[in-house]
Amino acid sequence: MKIAIASSDGKNVNLHFGKASSLYIYDFNGETANFLEKRTAIINRDEKHQWKSVLDKIKDCDIVICVQAGFKSKFGIEEAGLKLVEDEGPIDEVLNSYIEHYKFMKAPL
C-alpha cells in the first residue's frame, strides 16, 4: 500500500492537508516503508479549500499523513477511500510510529 506524507522539506510532517504543495510517497508492505517519489500539487497560498488539488495527486494512495485536515478535506479523503492520520514531526519518527501501531493492531490476540 502507499502512504502519502504532507511535507515541505521531505524531512518533517509539517503541512496542513489543504496547503500541501509537496507530498512524499512511500511504499508500505506491512513491515517497512520505502520512499518512492515526491509529488507536487499547485496551491495558491491566498485561497481556501484547495484540498481537492491535493487529493487528486494521491488518489492511488491508501493512507495520508498530515499535520491536520479541515472538515471538508476529511470528508473528501474518506469518500476517496483513504485513511487519514494526523501527526507531526520528523518523517522517520512518524512513519516508525505508524508502522509500530499498524503491526500492534494486526497482531493476533
The pTM for the full model equals 0.93
Supply the pLDDT for residue 66. Answer: 98
Please name the residue that has the C-alpha cell 490476540. Answer: 109
- What distance in Å separates the CA atoms of residue 63 and residue 39, rounded to the nearest whole number? 15
Domains in the chain, number: 1
Q: What is the CATH classification number for the domain harbouring 89?
A: 3.30.420.130
Q: Under a CB-based contact definition with an 8 Å cutoff, are residues 96 and 44 in contact?
A: no
The total of other beta-carbon atoms located within 10 Å of residue 100's CB is 10
Question: Which residue did the predictor score with more confidence, 92 or 44?
Answer: 92
| pLDDT above 90 for 44 | no
> Over the stretch 48-74, which tens digit does the pLDDT of each residue have?
778 999 999 999 999 999 999 999 999
Domain limits for position 66? 2-106
> Over the stretch 2-33, which tens digit does the pLDDT of each residue have?
999 999 999 999 999 999 999 999 999 999 99
